Amino acid sequence: MAWPTALPLIAILRGITPEDVVEHVEALLQEGFDAIEIPLNSPDWEKSIPLAVRQAGDRALVGAGTVLSVELASRVADLGGTLMVTPNTDPDVIRRARSRGLYTAIGFMTPSEAFAALAAGAQSLKLFPSSNLGPSYIKAIRAVLPPDVPLLAVGGVTPDNLGQFLDAGCIGAGLGGDLYKPGQPVSRTREQAAAFVKAYRSN
């Protein structure tokens, strides 16, 4: 397995509104991001996802996070999404997403969840919450996972600590509140995106 985009960092735009999504997505794309997630607990996500998909075109994987049911996985695909991120391990949701052509980044915390996700067809795994578990936990988990499985750190990742997660065995990360908070100016999104890209490339 290989991560499908050039930069293995997922921009998590939790709470973004349709009014803001196009500008922020464009800022992320210009800074080098090519994987963007709009969590389904954001307002009017059924409007925001198609807007983001249209803005990105073939420049990025765009889809949804916090996908908790097979129905929602199908809806993301119906809206043109190509990426599904979950906070948990639900084999039925994984299988539905794969059947609809979505690239899957599946949330897990324990080895049992990780292997259940892989058995259901997960293409990558996200360890959540990474900052609470820490790099030593990541090293231990990485030792038992198949070496070709892309592993992302999600939860509490900042430009300052990204390198610790990469050194521990993650190929990249999902970036939430330190990259984007609802209502922040586009300039802040651009600034943080640049900081994350710099941190990744300098590791």
Residues designated as active site: 37, 126
Give me the residue label for tokens 């231990």.
140
The span from the CA of 188 to the CA of 198, in Å, is: 15
How far apart are alpha carbons 60 and 141 in whole angstroms?
A: 29
186-201 and 18-30 helices cross at what angle (nearest 10)?
Answer: 30
C-alpha count within 13 angstroms, C-beta hemisphere, residue 183: 0
Are 81 and 61 in contact by the 8 Å Cβ rule? The answer is no
Query: Which residues have a Cβ under 8 Å from the Cβ of 62 and sit 6 or more positions away?
Result: 25, 35, 36, 37, 38, 49, 52, 53, 56, 80, 81, 82, 83
Enumerate long-range contacts of 113-117, CB under 8 Å, 24 or more apart.
113/88, 113/89, 114/89, 114/141, 114/145, 116/89, 116/91, 117/89, 117/91
Query: Do 155 and 132 contact (CB within 8 A), yes or no?
Result: yes
